[in-house]
Amino acid sequence: MSDPVRDAKSVLASQNIETPSWAFGNSGTRFKVFAQEGVPRDPYEKIADAAQVHRFTGTAGSVALHIPWDKVDDFGELAAYAAEQGVRIGTINSNTFQDADYMLGSVCHPEPGIRRKATDHLLECIGIMEAVGSDDLKLWFADGTNYPGQDSIAARQDRLAEVLAEVYGKLGERQRMLLEYKLFEPSFYHTDVPDWGTAFAHCAALGDKAEVVIDTGHHAPGTNIEFIVAVLLRAGKLGGFDFNSRFYADDDLMVGSADPFQLFRIMHELALRGAVGAGSGIAYMLDQCHNIEPKIPAVIRSVMNVQEATAKALLVDHGALEAAQSAGDVLGANAVLMDAYNTDVRPLLAELREEQGLHPDPVAAYAASGYADKIKSERQGGQAAGWGA
C-alpha cells in the first residue's frame, strides 16, 4: 500500500529549485538600492553564495546566470568552479533592456540594425549555454510602446516572430527556449509579450523546443495562475517558473510571502500531473531581488517556502478528491484540499533533511556557519555586484 509521506519525501528529495545569481547582489526599488556588506563582486562570488543555499537546503543545485551581468572571459572555467562548489550553471538569461539602443524596443524595434544587435546577443547566449552545459535560454523582453500610434502593434509581433524563429533555429538538440511574459512595465501603452496567451502563440508556432515560463508576480491582481498552469501543462507548453511574490504590481518579494495559499494551489496543479521532482521537464527557479533583507538567508527561506508548498501539494488525498468531485460534493472536495494545505509539513521536511545528512533547520544552520561574517571580512574593496553588474 502506498505511503503518502514516504512518496512525498521521495519526490521532495529529487526536487531542484534554481537560484538566480542576481539575488545575491545589491538590488532595490526604482527609488533606492540599500547596499549590504559582503555581497559578491563577480560571478564567482555569486556562485559561492548560491552554493551555500544548496549546502543547507540540499535542493538548490543549479544557478541561473544573467548575461551580460555575469560575463566572464572563460565560461568553461566558471562552470568548473561551480562544480567545485557543488552546484552547476543552469538557465542562461538574456538582457535586451538596459542598452540605450533599446529605448524603443529590442527584438521589436522598428530599426533593423537594433533588432540585429538584440538577435546577436541572444545567439551569444546560446554560445554561452554550450560552454557551460546549460539546456535553457530564458527570454524576457521589455519591448512595448508608450503612446497609441507610436508603432504598429501587428508589425512588432511580426518582428518578434522573425527574431524568435532565427534564435530557435540555432538551438541545440537538447536546448530549449523559455519565453517569459509580463503584464506591463516598462511600457505604458502596450507590452509586446504581455500575457501567457501571446507567449503560447509564439511558442506553438516555433515548435517543441519553445515553451512558456510563468513568473508568478507578472499578473494582474486576482489572476488565477493555477488555471494558466493547468492549461499550459495540458498543452505540453509549460517550460518553467520564475518564483516570487508581489502584493500589488512589483514582483521581487520572497516567494510565498504574499499569498502562500496561491503557491500551494499552483504546486497542487503540478503535483496532479506528476510535474514536480526529477524528470518533470519544468525549470523551477527563483527570480527575486532582496533589498532590505539579507541575501543568502532570504534565498534559503524562499527555497524552503517552495518545499513546504510542494510537500503540502504532494499530501493531497487524490482518491478522496476525485471521489468528492465525481459526486458533486463541493464542500467535501474543497475540504480535501484545505486539509492538505493546513498540514504542518515542517516536521516532515526536517526529517527529510536529517535523512539527507543536513541540519533540519537550514536558516539556523546558515546563521551558525559563520559564512556571513566571513564574506563581510573578505569582500573588502572592489565593486559590489548589483543591477547591471
Per-residue pLDDT reduced to its tens digit, 52-81? 999 999 999 999 999 999 999 999 999 999
- 289 pLDDT band (50/70/90 cuts)? confident
Mean pLDDT taken over the chain:
96
How far does the chain reach from its first CA to its final CA, in angstroms?
53
CB contact at 8 A, 332 and 324:
yes
pLDDT in tens, 221-237: 999 999 999 999 999 99
Is the overall model pTM greater than 0.75, yes or no?
A: yes
Of 118-132, 197-211, 243-257, 364-378, which range is least confident?
Answer: 243-257
Phi and psi of 307, rounded to 5°?
Answer: -60, -45
pLDDT at 310: 98
The per-residue pLDDT for 388 is 60
282: Cβ contacts below 8 Å, ≥ 6 apart: 238, 239, 240, 241, 270, 275, 276
What are the tens digits of pLDDT across the range 150-167? 999 999 999 999 999 999
Q: What is the pLDDT at residue 1?
A: 59
- Residue 389 has a pLDDT of 55
Short-list 118, 158, 171, 165, CA closest to 142: 118
| Exposed/middle/buried for residue 213 (C-beta within 10 Å: 0-12, 13-18, 19+) | buried
Instruction: Give 129-132 contacts, CB < 8 A, sequence gap 24+.
Output: 129/92, 129/172, 129/175, 130/172, 131/75, 131/76, 131/79, 132/65, 132/75, 132/76, 132/78, 132/79, 132/82, 132/89, 132/92
pLDDT digit string (tens) for 248-268?
877 889 999 999 999 999 999
- Given a cut of 70, whether residue 89 has pLDDT beyond it is yes
State the average pLDDT over residues 85-108: 97
Question: Dihedrals φ, ψ of 69, to 5°?
Answer: -55, -35
pLDDT single digits (tens) 329-359: 999 999 999 999 999 999 999 999 999 999 9
| Distance (Å, whole) CA 388 – CA 264 | 33
Q: Which CATH architecture has domain 14-314+345-378?
A: Alpha-Beta Barrel (3.20)
Confirm if 104 and 151 have CB atoms less than 8 A apart. yes
Q: By the 8 A CB rule, do 170 and 123 touch? A: yes
* 242 backbone φψ class: left, alpha, beta (φ>0; ψ -120 to 50): beta
| Span 294-303, average pLDDT | 97
* Residue entry with cell 512588432: 156
